[in-house]
Structure 1
Amino acid sequence: MTDFRVPKLNNNDTSYVLVEWLAEDGQTVRDGDPIALLETSKATEEVEAPTDGVLRRLLAEGAECEPGQVIARLLGSADEATPEAAQEAGQEAGQEAVQEAPQAAHGNPGGSRTPAPPGDASGVIVTAPARELIEAHGIPMERVHALGRKVIRRTDVEELLGAQEPSPAVADDAPAGDDDAQWITLSRAQQRTAEVVERSLREIPAAFTAMNVDVTEVLSLARDLTRRLRTLVGLPEMVVKAAGGLLDRFPMFFAVPGPGPRARRAATADVGVTVDVGRGLFIPVVRDAGNRPLAEIAADLVGFRKTALTGSFRERDLQGGAITLTLHTNDGIVFAVPIVFPGQTCALSLTAPRPEVVQDGSGFAVRRFATVGLAYDHRFINGRDAAEFLGELRTALESPARFLSENG
């Protein structure tokens, strides 16, 4: 008999939600078969069987679980032949509907446990975080059922509530007499973002440099490539490609800070790009941006935007970025200062193109400019290095035919 334990999927979350079992209780599964779907604060992840065996589930769909927790067992032929082992696993599986789940992420840091939420008469599974939000706002269950989903997660309820991010409980320090409607609590995903931001500002002595870039020609080329490649190519795709091409000349900008006065070189320019379609901030990673064709990079970013709409990122989509590009494409933004994410030495920011009148010979012309900013860990990168990096990036963007011919 083999315990099936929840793997650690990321460094930000202390608990996950068991969204769905992908194999039936009592089903024979093979080593490597996907058997459960777990939801983290940012992604959903299939977890696989560690060995062959007969699955005995110990936790209900919709319950929370923590890394290392045993949520199922896999019985081998020898176990099935032992009446005691089969009886033990069967009894535990029979307790599935009342299995206790950790609630540390929902105002219970002491680790006490509450019963996992069962499905209702309709067969719909409502996760504990979702149920708390439903009850806090008095949402009729018929509205929840109308979503037509087998498992209702917190993000689904937030979708019903529109832009609100309410809390299931009044804050501990709330004055007497305050009610829930007066408080807005961060979503689970935003809480993880807050933790990363706090850590960055606490640990990384960051500096910032910005540079204006004339993007008139590169935008024209992007429109042409969109028609020819039949996939959306815009300024973000061009910046990812151009930045990826700077790995060899500026290895420190893609390095992983190490202990002491060292940083580990990156083998490839893996560029994280912010995506926010109203369901939280995600930073999926474009792999090997310096060596791959622009068409592939564009296809990756289109795919990321579609995935963000459904909230179905996998942890592997979000891990391993060597540098991050944060997009600030709302009209009117002049420049933006990104945070440097722990494990990286710098982060780029990009604003939307804006028209500016410039001198052109004896007259004037309207050109389009964008601001590219660079926040950097001053322990590893100096201001002169930052200016040279931005200068090379500007040269690539202002001579788009050059960087496209050099990098494919």
Structure 2
Amino acid sequence: MSEFRVPKLNNNDSAYVLLEWLAEDGAAVRAGDPLVTVETSKAVEELAAEEAGVLRRLLQAGAECVPGQAIARLLAPGAEATDAEPGVEPGAGHSPGTAPDDAMPGDIVITAPARKLIDERGVSPDEIRALGRKVVRRADLEHLAAGGSREAPPPGGPAEPGRSPTPGLPAIPGGEDRKEPDGGAAGELISLSRAQLRTAEVVERSRREIPSAFTLMNVDVTDALPLARDLTRRLRALVGLPELVVKAVGGLLDAFPLFFAAPAEGLRARRATAADVGVTVDVGRGLFIPVVRDAGGRPLAEIARDLTGFRRTALEGAFRESDLRGGVITLTLHTHDGVAVATPIVFPGQTCALALTAPRSEVVQDGAGFAVRKVCGLGLSYDHRFVNGREAAKFLAAIRTALENPGHFTT
């Protein structure tokens, strides 16, 4: 018999959620067979058996697990599980008495964070079934809980007029009659998703540990935009400014090694072997930063297909930790109309982060007259211990030159 333990999937999370068992309890599995999916704060990871055996589950779907925890055992053929974890029935996959709650009709599995939100906000079984999901996570329910169609009382029951519904919060003038613009009760606590909590931790750490500076440069992309549309047709892959910027950044690794380096002890920096560029993706289900590998050594068409695939994966919520790991510099996209300036944080383990805004029309002098040009903002946040303003300006200027003379973007 051997124990199947949860590996350490990243350095960011102290606990994960066991999403779904992929092999039946009591099934004979071979080495390499997928057994279970585990959700971190940013990704879904599929874990496989390291050896052959008969699977005996020790944890139910939807429960939290920690790195190193045994969640199953692999028994020799013909052996029986006699020492399952306390509170778990061998072969059942659910704690006694919990199956009707956590596995709804139709084999819907509800994760522990989702169950907590259901209990807090009174999400009905019909609303859960209407989602049409086999595994229901907290992020799937947040729009229901915040939709304003119900008004759940705060913990402890309705508040008296003029009294705070939550201990430690100041009293609300006007009592329970006051409402927030979205229909929720004023003073009610809003829970953040696991992904947003992780984002908060990274931002706090960055602000605390990294003395960053910021430089902004305007880039004329009038000629780059029609070329991107032409490349989209020719390469049969969606090409826009983000794809062109990633390719341009990838080509600067040798000329600007400190911009891609990782801080090391003694105010030294570890050189990157490839320009692995992280690019932000946010389709309304949280912020993800998947990594385009070797942006300097691969064709533009491959980079474009990578980014298209990342957007599709973000919609499906199926990133793997390997998709998000190993970036040496980050490009943050701020492409909503009207965003003129964006200052990214420098992520721990990196020295620089770029920000790209959407193109906007500007009137510029053109000889004796004026012309309307398309201009975007390209900003750079940098760890001032390793990079100075002069080098930052030269780095941005190199990217600007590539975008303003885009004829070299051909493949």
Instruction: Give me the TM-score of the superposition, normalised by structure 2.
Output: 0.88
Structure 2 residue 306 is matched with structure 1 residue 300:
yes
What is the distance in 2 between the residues matched to 1:236 and 1:167? 45
- Map 1:176-187 to 2 at 5 A: 181=185, 182-187=188-193
What is the distance in 2 between the residues matched to 1:134 and 1:147? 14
Where structure 2 has 5 or more consecutive residues not aligned to the other structure, the ranges are 156-164, 177-183
What is the distance in 2 between the residues matched to 1:271 and 1:190? 22
Pick aligned residue for 1:157 from 141, 162, 166: 141
Pick aligned residue for 2:253 from 247, 250, 262: 247
Q: How many residues are paired up?
A: 386
Structure in which a larger fraction of residues adopt helix: 1
- Cα offset, 1:94, TM superposition: 4.5
- Cα offset, 1:334, TM superposition: 1.3
- Map 1:252-331 to 2 at 5 A: 252-331=258-337
- Cα offset, 1:318, TM superposition: 0.8
Corresponding residue for residue 199 of structure 2: 193
Q: Residue type of the partner of 1:143? A: E
2:90 alignment partner, SS class: helix
- Cα offset, 1:134, TM superposition: 1.7
Q: Is the 8 A contact 1:271 1:289 kept in 2?
A: yes
Q: Residue type of the partner of 2:279? A: V
Pick aligned residue for 1:97 from 94, 107, 119: 94
Moved more, 207-216 or 28-37: 28-37
Moved more, 133-142 or 91-100: 91-100
Q: Is the 8 A contact 2:5 2:71 kept in 1?
A: yes
Q: Residue type of the partner of 1:198? A: E
Corresponding residue for residue 162 of structure 2: none
Query: Compared with structure 1, are the counterparts of its residues 276 and 38 closer, same or farther at alpha carbon in structure 2 (3 Å cutoff)?
Result: same
- Map 1:46-125 to 2 at 5 A: 46-77=46-77, 80=78, 86-89=81-84, 93-94=90-91, 96-98=93-95, 118-125=102-109
Q: Is the 8 A contact 1:349 1:374 kept in 2?
A: yes
Structure 2 residue 20 is matched with structure 1 residue 25:
no
Alignment deviations for residues 248-269 of structure 1 (CA, whole Å, 9 cap, x no partner): 1011111111111211111110
Alignment deviations for residues 123-179 of structure 1 (CA, whole Å, 9 cap, x no partner): 322111111212222221111112222221111112434678x99968663458999
- Cα offset, 1:339, TM superposition: 0.1
Instruction: Give me the TM-score of the superposition, normalised by structure 1.
Output: 0.88
Corresponding residue for residue 351 of structure 1: 357
Corresponding residue for residue 202 of structure 1: 208
Q: Is the 8 A contact 2:26 2:91 kept in 1?
A: no
2:231 alignment partner, SS class: helix
What is the distance in 1 between the residues matched to 2:250 and 2:81? 55
Q: Residue type of the partner of 2:13? A: D
What is the distance in 2 between the residues matched to 1:99 and 1:57? 14
Structure 2 residue 377 is matched with structure 1 residue 382:
no
What CA RMSD, in Å, does the superposition of the two structures yield over aligned residues? Answer: 2.6
Corresponding residue for residue 111 of structure 1: none
What is the distance in 2 between the residues matched to 1:300 and 1:45? 19
What is the distance in 2 between the residues matched to 1:49 and 1:168? 44
Q: Residue type of the partner of 1:130? A: A
1:87 alignment partner, SS class: coil
2:344 alignment partner, SS class: coil
Q: Is the 8 A contact 2:56 2:81 kept in 1?
A: no
Q: Percent identity?
A: 65
Corresponding residue for residue 173 of structure 1: 168
What is the distance in 1 between the residues matched to 2:317 and 2:198? 16
Alignment deviations for residues 351-391 of structure 1 (CA, whole Å, 9 cap, x no partner): 11111111112221111111100000011111111111111
Where structure 1 has 5 or more consecutive residues not aligned to the other structure, the ranges are 101-113
What is the distance in 2 between the residues matched to 1:232 and 1:66? 39
